Amino acid sequence: MTALPETFTHYLAAWNETDTGLIRGHLDRAVTRDVLFVDPANTTVGPDAMEEMIRTARTDLPGASYHRIGEADGHNGRFRYRWEVRVDGRAAVAGMDVTTVDTSGRIERIDGFFGEF
């Protein structure tokens, strides 16, 4: 198992934050100012757009919780890990992210994939 930088804890906290006014604070501790997020449903650049995407997800799936599952693997500033979104304690969406960090450990790019692999 590869240890993830502390910024990943703040990033996941942003997704699980129920007070939407606090999402940005988590992102400010996790991502670069030009962070790129790309998955089959979204493409965002910067923490403002990422915050809006997370707010929308919280509205679209009220009560959902976001989890990293299994072990993470990483090298040279890139990490891959599986995740799932749970609604009422049951997996609703699963996937994998490949995340790139800068030299300080801040997240600069997330490439997301849906489904099992």
What pLDDT is stored for residue 116 in this prediction? 79
Q: Strand, helix or coil at 20?
A: helix
What pLDDT is stored for residue 1 in this prediction? 63
Rounded CA separation 109/63 (Å): 26
Domain ranges for the chain, please list them: 7-114
User: For 29-78, how does the pLDDT look when each residue is reduced to its tens digit (9 = 90+)?
Assistant: 999 999 999 999 999 999 999 999 999 999 999 999 999 999 999 999 99
In this prediction, what percent of the chain has a pLDDT beyond 70? 99
In this prediction, what percent of the chain has a pLDDT beyond 90? 95
What pLDDT is stored for residue 2 in this prediction? 74
Name which CATH class applies to 7-114: alpha beta
Question: What mean pLDDT do residues 91-115 have?
Answer: 97
HSE at residue 32, side-chain half, CA atoms within 13 A, is: 17
Rounded CA separation 48/28 (Å): 10
